[in-house]
Structure 1
Amino acid sequence: MSLLTRIVPALLACCLSLSGHADSPGRHGDCPVLDLSDDTARQHLMDHVCYHTASPGDPGHEARSPDQLPENFAWTPANGHDLVFSHTESVYWIHLHVWNGGDPHRLWYLKLDYPLLDEVSFWQIGPDGYRSSMITGDQYPFASRQVNYRYFLLPLALASQEQRQVTIRVHSSGALNVPLALETPEEVIASSNHLTLTHGLFYGALVIFAAFNLLLFFSSGTPYYFHNAFYMAAMGLFLFAMGGFANQYFWPESAHFANLAIPISLTLCALAMTLFGRSFLEVQADTLPATTLTTLAWFCLGFLALTFILPYSKSILLNTVLALTVIASLLVVAAIRWRQGYPPAVWYLLSWIVMLAGALVYALAAFGYLADFLARESLMQATIGGQVVLLNYALVQRWRLLNEKLLQMEHQARTELEFKVHERTAQLRSTMHELERANRKLAALSLNDALTGLHNRRHMDAALPELCAESRRTGQPLSLALIDADRFKAINDTWGHAFGDVCLQRIAEVLQRHAKRPRDVAIRFGGEEFALLLPGTDAQGARQLCEHILADLRHLVVATPDRAGLTLTMSAGVAQLVPGEAPESLFQRADEALYQAKSSGRDRVCVAALALSD
C-alpha cells in the first residue's frame, strides 16, 4: 500500500475529530475512516462503524434525516461487534465514513443482511455537496429499494480519493439485527449465487417431500400424511417470509402483508405440528396427552385470529412462544408414547429434539439475542432438513410397524376369531355404556347454567308449559317470578366481568336458599335475569318469597377487587296463572310487573296488574 493511502485516512480522522462533525451533524471522533480499496479493512467493517441509540424522548428519535440531528450528537463505536438489539422502541442511527484510496473509479455495495426491518433509510453525503438518499423497509413497497434483492443493498460509487459520509436510520417494531458488510459487485454476486443454490435445494426438497406426502394422503386416506404435508408447506412459507423472499416475490406491493405473513405462517406451523403429532403418535382419546394437544390446537386457532388484531411486535412474540410450547409438548408426548412401547416415537422424538435446538437458536437470533442472523438462518434450514428426514423415516417405520401388525392380526384371526368377536363385542358394549353416560351427562349439562348451577332457559321453556297444564288440571295455583339484578352493567363496567360472575353466583345461592320446596325451580335465563317457578304458590305467597329474597340480598356484602364492599339489590315481578291463560301470557305479565318494579325505583316487588281468579 502506498504512503498516500496510509496518510490520507489518518488526516481525515484528525480533521473530523478537530471539527466535531463533517457533512452530517454529530460527533464521529472515534469512528476511523474506512478505505474501500483495502480488502482487509472492508472485512473489519465494524471497527469503523459508530451508532447511536435514540430512545423515545431523545432528539434523534424524532429526527427523520441527518440534517435534523443535533451537533452534539454522541456516537458510540461498534468496536468490531455486530449491531444486534432485542425488541425496543428506540431508533438506531449508524454512521460510517468511507473513501476510495485506490486510483480507479469503483463501485461497492453496503449490505444489510437482515430483511425484517420496518424502516431503513440510507444517506450518502460527500464533501463536494453530493447527496443521495434511499428510504425503504418492510413498511414500503419492495420497489423502494434501489436493487431488486431480498436484503438491503446501498450502491457506493466513488472516484479515486473521493470520500463519503454514510448515515443509516433504522426503526422496527420487532428485534433489530443490523449485520453490515461492504462488498464489491463480484463478491455480492458470488454470495448471492451461493445462497440461491442453498435456498433452491432446501425449498425444492420441502416442496418434493410435501407433494409426496400429499400423494400418499390421497392414495391411502391416512390423515397424518396430510398433516405432514401441511407442516412442511407452512414451515417453508414461514422461512420464505422470514428470509425476505415472500416480500420480494409474493406480495412486493403489500407492505402490510409482508409483516403479517410471518406470524400467520408461524401459527400455521404450530397448528400443523400439533395435528401431525396427535395423528402420527396415535394418542388415545380421553388421555392427558390428547387433551393437551387438542387444547394447543385450539390455542393455535385463537392465536391465528389474534394475529389480525394485535400489532406485529406482540403477535410474533406470542406466536413464537406458542410454537416453542408446541414443540416442547410434542417432545413430552413422544417420550410418553416411547415409554408406552410405541417404536416410531423414537425417531419422532429425535426429530423434535433437533427441531427444538434449532428453533431456540433461530428465535434468539430473530429476537436480537444472538448475532449473525444469516448463519442462524442456514442453521435453521439444516435443522429442518434433518428433521424432515427423521420424520419421514419415522413414517416409514410406522408403515412397517403397521404392516407387521396387519400380518400378525391376519395370522391370529384364523385361530382366535371367536375370541376377537367376543372382545370386540365387549368393547362395543363398553363404548355404548360410555356413550350413554356421556349423553346423560350432556343432557344434564344442557339444562343447567354452568356458572350458577341453576336451571337454564331451556329447562324453563320445557317446564313452564307442563306446570301450566298441571295447574289447569288440578286447580292448584302457579306463580312465576322474574327477578333482575339492579344496575348490573355498572358492576361489570366498574369491576369487570369476572367480579360480575361472582355476584351472579352469590345471587344464585340466595335464590336456592329461599326456593327450597321440592317443586320450586330457580332459573337463570339471561345475563343477570333469574326466574322462580312456584307451583302450589299464589301471587301473595310468591310476593312474600321475593321480598324475603330481596331483604336477604340487602344484608349480603360482596367484597370487590379493590377490597370495598358491594351490596346487591334486585327487582322482581310476580304473576299468577289465570285459568285458561297461555304460558306466554303468564311470562309477559310477569315481565311487565318486573318492568314496573324497575321503573318505580328498583329494589322492590310488583305483582301483575291483571286480577287473578280462583
Structure 2
Amino acid sequence: MSLFARLAFLMLCTVIPAFALASVAVAGSECPAVDANDTQARNSLMYYVCYHQSSPGEPAHTALNPAELPEHIKWTPSQGHELVFSQTRSVYWIRLNIRNNGSERRLWYLNLHYPLLDEVTFWRGDQPEDVLVTGDQHRFGSRLVDYRYFLLPITLNSGETRSITIRIHSSGALNIPLKLETPEEVIAESNHLAVTHGLFYGAILVLAIFNLLLFFSSGTTYYFYNALYMVAMGLFLFAMGGFANQYFWPENPKFANTSIPLTLALCALAMTFFGRSFLEVAAHTRADKTLKAILWICAGFTGLTLAIPYSQAILINTALGLVIIFILSIIAISRWQQGYQPAKWYVLAWAIMAVGALVYAAAAFGYLADFLARESLMQVAIGGQVILLNYAMVQRWRLLNDKLLEVEQKARNDLEYKVHERTAQLRSTMRELENANRKLATLSLNDSLTGLYNRRHMDNILPDLCAEARRTGRPLTIALLDADHFKAVNDTWGHGFGDTWLQLIADILTRHATRPRDTAVRFGGEEFALLLPSTDLEGAQKVCEAVLEEIRTTSVEAPGGAKARLTMSAGIATLLPNENQQEFFERADSALYEAKAQGRNQTVIADT
C-alpha cells in the first residue's frame, strides 16, 4: 500500500527538486565557525552547517549522543543549501560551530523552523542540562520555548566558541531549515507570523461560520459542505504548521501526528461532498457514480488513517486529495461545457488550489526547499480558492433566483390561492410547491390519454398570454392542427388503434414545441393546438410544416400487419392589435378549415 501511494504521488507531482545537495564528503569533524554577531553571516548560516547521513545498520544510526559517533565520521557541508530530504529511514546528524566575537556575553536562538520532525535532540555542551530532547514524538512541553518551531537558546561569553550538534530522525520527509537569530529577531518574526496566520485562520473561520448560517437559514446543503471543507482545510494547515500540536493536543504527541493525515482525509471527503452538491451532478450518471465511489473511498481511508503508520497515511491521503482535485476539475469542466455557468468559477478555484497543493506537497515531502514560503503560498492559494468558490456560490444563487422567478410566474395562475397562503415560505419550499403543481396539473389540466394539456388549461392561460403579448409587443401565435380522415381510422381498425395514433401525434408535437413556454394542447378528439409565445408567423409555419412532415412520413403497423399512414392539416394565426381572445382563436380555426377545404395535408395562415 505504501509503495502504491508513493508512486501515485510521484506520478502526480510534476515538480522536481529545487536543488541537489552536494555529495562530496569532507574528512574531519570541524566545520567553519559562524560569527554570531555578524548579521550577514547569520543570514548565510547554511554555509556553516555540516551534516552526516546515517542509514540503518551504520554505527551512527544507533548512536544516541555525539560521544557514540565513530571517531572518523565524515561530515558533508551544506554549501548554503537548505537540508531537505524525501522520506527516509536514515538518521541525520547536524554540526554547527558558533563563535561570539563581540565584547560582551549575549544570547541567540537557533531556530529549526520546521515543526513536523519526530525526534530532535540538541547538544550545546557536555553537561546534562545542555541536552534538549524534543520532537513530535514527545510532549510539546519538552521544548525549552513555547513555540511551534524548535528554538534552542545559546548563550556565549565574549570570545567563546561552542559546537552545536543535532540528531534528527523522522518517519516522514525531512526539512531542516536553520536560522541563528537574536531574541529581537525571533520576536519580530513571531509577531509578523502571528498577524499573517491570525488573519488567514480568522478569515477561514468567519467564512465557515457564515456558510453555516446560510445553511441553517436556507437548508441548502452545499453551504454546509463548504463550511466543512474550510474547517477541515484550516485544521489541516493548523496541524501542518505546528499550531495544533501547540494549542490543541500538546499532551498527546501520537494524535498530533495522526491529526495531519486525518484532517487531510476529511478535506478530501468534504470537497467531494461540496463538488457533488454544488455542480448539481445528475443522479445515476457516470460522474455521480464516480463521486459516490470516491466518497466511500474517502470514508474508508479516514478510518484506515487511524490504523496505519503516519508515513503511509500521509502519502496515501495526499495522493487521494490530488486525484480528487483532478476528478472534480474534469467534472466541473464538463458541467461548464453543458452551460452551467457557476462551474467556470469552480474550475478556476480548483486550478489555483491544484497549483498551491502540488507545490506545498512537494515541499512537505522533501522535493522543494523553503517550507515556510510554500506554506505562505498554500495560504494564498486557499485564500484565492475560497474567494472564487464563494463568488461561484453567489453566481449559482443568482441563477437559481432567476429560475425561481420564472417558476413563480408559471405557477401563479394555477396555484394562486396557495401562493397567497405560502408566499413567506415560497423560497424555502419551492421544490414541494413544484411537486404539488405537477400533481394538480396531472389531475385537472392534462389529457389522460396523451399527457398533453387539455382545453381547460388552454382557456386558463390564453387570456394571460394575449395580455402579455399586447403589453410587451412580442408576437403570440396559435396553431390548430387536426388529423385528416381520422374517423376512417377508428372505423377501419378500431378506437384502440386510433388512440395509438393520438399518442403518437402528441409525442411529435411535444418534440417540436421545444422552447420552455411553448405549449401543446389536445382540445378535442383528434384536434390539437400549439401556443407559441414570442413566435411570429414564419416561425410557427416552420414548426407546423415540420410536424406535418414527420406525421406524413410515419407509418404504424395496424392490426393484421398492414402499414397505416395519416396526415394532418394546420391553421395558423398571430394575435392582432386590439383583437380579443375569441376572435384570435376563430381566425386560426377558419384557417384550419380552409386547409381542409384545399385538400388537407397542408398549413394555411389566417388573413391579417
Structure-2 residue corresponding to 1:76: 76
Any residues of structure 2 matched to 1:374-393 within 5 Å, and which?
374-393=372-391
Indicate conservation of the 8 Å contact 2:123/2:164, yes or no: yes
The DSSP-based 3-state class of the residue aligned with 2:95 is strand
The DSSP-based 3-state class of the residue aligned with 1:328 is helix
Any residues of structure 2 matched to 1:574-593 within 5 Å, and which?
none
Distance 2:142 2:49 in 1: 25
Structure-1 residue corresponding to 2:51: 51
Q: Deviations 1:77-121 (Å, cap 9, x if unpaired)?
A: 000000000000000000001110111100000001100000000
Any residues of structure 2 matched to 1:175-214 within 5 Å, and which?
175-214=173-212
Counterpart of 1:248 (choices 234, 237, 246) is 246
Q: C-alpha displacement at 1:167, in angstroms?
A: 0.4
Q: Deviations 1:212-235 (Å, cap 9, x if unpaired)?
A: 000111111111010001001101
Counterpart of 1:287 (choices 285, 288, 312) is 285
Any residues of structure 2 matched to 1:242-391 within 5 Å, and which?
242-391=240-389
Letter matched to residue 29 of structure 2: H
Indicate conservation of the 8 Å contact 1:123/1:131, yes or no: no
The DSSP-based 3-state class of the residue aligned with 1:96 is strand
Q: C-alpha displacement at 1:28, in angstroms?
A: 2.6
Structure-1 residue corresponding to 2:397: 399
Structure-2 residue corresponding to 1:122: 122
The runs of at least 4 aligned residues of structure 1 exceeding 3 Å deviation read: 412-426
Distance 1:219 1:243 in 2: 34
Q: Deviations 1:313-343 (Å, cap 9, x if unpaired)?
A: 0000000001111111110111011011101
Any residues of structure 2 matched to 1:412-491 within 5 Å, and which?
412-413=410-411, 421=438
Q: Deviations 1:152-186 (Å, cap 9, x if unpaired)?
A: 00001001001101000000000000010000000
Indicate conservation of the 8 Å contact 2:29/2:72, yes or no: no
Q: Deviations 1:402-429 (Å, cap 9, x if unpaired)?
A: 0011112222445899998499869xxx
Letter matched to residue 359 of structure 1: A
Indicate conservation of the 8 Å contact 1:120/1:169, yes or no: yes
The DSSP-based 3-state class of the residue aligned with 1:125 is coil
Indicate conservation of the 8 Å contact 1:235/1:269, yes or no: yes
Q: C-alpha displacement at 1:33, in angstroms?
A: 1.0
Distance 1:303 1:241 in 2: 19
Letter matched to residue 233 of structure 2: M
Change (3 A) 1:153 1:425: farther
The DSSP-based 3-state class of the residue aligned with 2:165 is strand
Residues paired across the two proteins, number:
400
Structure-1 residue corresponding to 2:599: none
Letter matched to residue 68 of structure 1: E
Indicate conservation of the 8 Å contact 1:27/1:71, yes or no: no
Change (3 A) 1:422 1:250: closer
Q: C-alpha displacement at 1:125, in angstroms?
A: 2.6
Q: Which runs of 5+ in 2 are unaligned?
A: 1-25, 416-433, 444-608
Letter matched to residue 105 of structure 1: R
Distance 1:310 1:262 in 2: 13
Q: Determine whether 1:66 maps to 2:66.
A: yes
Any residues of structure 2 matched to 1:216-227 within 5 Å, and which?
216-227=214-225
The DSSP-based 3-state class of the residue aligned with 2:124 is strand
Structure-1 residue corresponding to 2:103: 103
Q: Deviations 1:199-250 (Å, cap 9, x if unpaired)?
A: 0000100110000000111111111010001001101110110000000001
Q: C-alpha displacement at 1:308, in angstroms?
A: 1.0
Letter matched to residue 78 of structure 1: S
Q: Deviations 1:36-77 (Å, cap 9, x if unpaired)?
A: 111111110000000011011111110111010011101000
Q: C-alpha displacement at 1:292, in angstroms?
A: 1.0
Structure-1 residue corresponding to 2:162: 164
Q: C-alpha displacement at 1:302, in angstroms?
A: 0.5
Distance 2:101 2:355 in 1: 46
TM-score (normalised: structure 1):
0.63
Distance 1:424 1:95 in 2: 83
Q: Deviations 1:483-504 (Å, cap 9, x if unpaired)?
A: xxxxxxxxxxxxxxxxxxxxxx
Aligned-residue RMSD, C-alpha? 2.2
Which moved further from structure 2: 204-213 or 408-417? 408-417
The DSSP-based 3-state class of the residue aligned with 1:109 is strand
Any residues of structure 2 matched to 1:452-601 within 5 Å, and which?
none
Q: Deviations 1:374-409 (Å, cap 9, x if unpaired)?
A: 000111111111111111111111101000111122
Distance 2:283 2:167 in 1: 54
Distance 1:267 1:167 in 2: 37
Distance 1:188 1:159 in 2: 20
Q: Deviations 1:427-454 (Å, cap 9, x if unpaired)?
A: xxxxxxxxxxxxxxxxxxxxxxxxxxxx
Distance 2:49 2:284 in 1: 60
Indicate conservation of the 8 Å contact 2:140/2:246, yes or no: yes
Distance 1:118 1:196 in 2: 24
Letter matched to residue 261 of structure 1: S
The DSSP-based 3-state class of the residue aligned with 2:130 is strand
Structure-1 residue corresponding to 2:470: none
Q: C-alpha displacement at 1:147, in angstroms?
A: 0.4
Higher relative contact order (CA 8 A, sep 6+): 2
The DSSP-based 3-state class of the residue aligned with 1:95 is strand
Indicate conservation of the 8 Å contact 1:124/1:131, yes or no: no
Change (3 A) 1:423 1:122: farther
